[in-house]
Amino acid sequence: MQRETWRHFDFWLLGAVAVLVIFGLGMIRSAIAGNEELLELYPRHIVFAIIGFFVVVITASLDYHLFNPIGKVLYVLVAVLLGLVAIGGAVAFGAQRAIDTGFFFIQPSELAKIAMILVLADFFTRNANRRHNLRWILRSLIPTLAMVVAIFLQPDLSTSIVLMVIWFALLWASGLETKHIVLFGVLGIVLVAVGFPFLEDYQQQRVFTFLFPDPNETFGNNYNVTQAQITVGSGGWFGQGYGQGSQVQLRFLKVRHTDFIFSALANEFGFVGAVVVLALLAFVMYRCLRAARLAKDTFGALICYGVTALIFFHTAVNVGMNLNLIPVTGLPLPFISMGGSSLLSMLLGIGLVESVVLRHKALEF
């Protein structure tokens, strides 16, 4: 790449992401609250963060068109890794989702999100001039469903839903007709009704707990949600201070370094701190949408739309469950929650957006 091209690099996007990741590292360190087992994992997350920024720069330096064939290879690789997970993956919280390498865990379902963005962006680009009928929709759904089913069987319902959201977002961005949107809405309701009995017991219980909470239950299924609400509320306007949050440091809040890290940061930095974090995430999404608008072709634009949809859905679901607006899921808060595979996949997505922006159409004046 010519040196002049780097002047188009979106340093605002990278800067916002860097602030979020660094803040996340500090927040995880506080949320660990002296837990020795988690303290041993913390240095690995730092290593993943450092590697992730190298991934951003390397990915940005490559022409994003090279990721067209790479996306197909990545899709196959993820499928193979998911097969290995099914055979002998590590089990955590009742699900078999990761491969233990002896040094760290690899969660292939996180890479599946980026693989699906690349594969679907390529499909919709190649078929942009075809009639946007049900056949066009079904052809795009086939590779998506194959990956969704493999991940759903782990079981991992939340990631399965993420892949379907990515598919629908790119489908909509590619020109989905209104009549098909209505059709999908009806089919979605039917699918939820038919598929609910086939969910795992703990997945069904989360839905029941959300819809019909027991106000007299102190512990049990309501515990995490109740503690999350107490944690957020006790933060007030400006929080109790870094490393001083009572709900966090006394460990009343569980999985506070991953699923409920938003509650932890609200406890220590208050309403103002939580709004600042959400504003930074919104800014990251805005810069990704800007990159999509500046992209010189459909493939680049769809990559950026896909990454935006990924970040938005993760953020909305994680914050929603922390505030008890939706049932509890296992989706991390982008760039902040602990999880090496998730952080790497998000930073890989940012690298792809930067690659598109570096090669965008003529500058606006």
Do 149 and 142 contact (CB within 8 A), yes or no?
A: no
Domain containing residue 229: 3-358
State residue 365's pLDDT score. Answer: 36
Backbone angles phi, psi at 227, to 5 degrees: -65, -35
Residue 180 structure tokens: 């098909």
**227 pLDDT band (50/70/90 cuts)?**
confident
Task: Tell me, yes or no, whether 138 lies in a domain.
Answer: yes
Residue 94: pLDDT over 70 = no
Residue 15 structure tokens: 């800067």
Task: Tell me, yes or no, whether 277 lies in a domain.
Answer: yes
**What is the C-alpha to C-alpha distance for residues 115 and 72, in angstroms, rounded to an integer?**
7
Closest CA to 273 of 340, 182, 336, 324: 336
Residue 291: pLDDT over 70 = yes
**226 pLDDT band (50/70/90 cuts)?**
confident
Instruction: Provide mean pLDDT across the span 233-238.
Output: 90
**What is the C-alpha to C-alpha distance for residues 241 and 235, in angstroms, rounded to an integer?**
9
State residue 92's pLDDT score. Answer: 53
Asked which of 55-59, 179-183, 292-296 is least confident by mean pLDDT, the reply is 179-183
For the whole model, what pTM was predicted?
0.90
Residue 364: pLDDT over 50 = no
pLDDT > 70 in the chain, percent:
89
Do 229 and 10 contact (CB within 8 A), yes or no?
A: no
Do 121 and 69 contact (CB within 8 A), yes or no?
A: no
Task: Tell me, yes or no, whether 365 lies in a domain.
Answer: no
Residue 131: pLDDT over 60 = yes
pLDDT in tens, 5-45: 677 789 999 999 999 999 999 999 999 877 877 888 889 89
pLDDT in tens, 182-221: 877 887 788 777 776 767 776 777 776 777 676 666 665 6
Backbone angles phi, psi at 91, to 5 degrees: -100, 130
**How many other C-beta atoms lie within 10 A of the C-beta of residue 56?**
23
Task: Tell me, yes or no, whether 364 lies in a domain.
Answer: no
Which residues neighbour 55 within 8 Å (Cβ) at sequence distance 6 or greater?
A: 344, 347, 348, 351
**What is the C-alpha to C-alpha distance for residues 76 and 88, in angstroms, rounded to an integer?**
19
Q: How far is CA 81 from the centre of its chain?
A: 19
pLDDT > 90 in the chain, percent:
48
State residue 101's pLDDT score. Answer: 63
Residue 353: pLDDT over 80 = yes
In single-letter form, the type of residue at position 365 comes to F
Task: Tell me, yes or no, whether 343 lies in a domain.
Answer: yes
- The structure tokens 């919280």 sit at 93
Selection from 7-16, 226-235, 254-263, 312-321 with the highest mean pLDDT: 312-321
Angle (CA) 90 115 325, round 5°: 70
Task: Tell me, yes or no, whether 363 lies in a domain.
Answer: no
State residue 216's pLDDT score. Answer: 62
Task: Tell me, yes or no, whether 261 lies in a domain.
Answer: yes
Task: Tell me, yes or no, whether 278 lies in a domain.
Answer: yes
Q: Count of domains in the chain?
A: 1
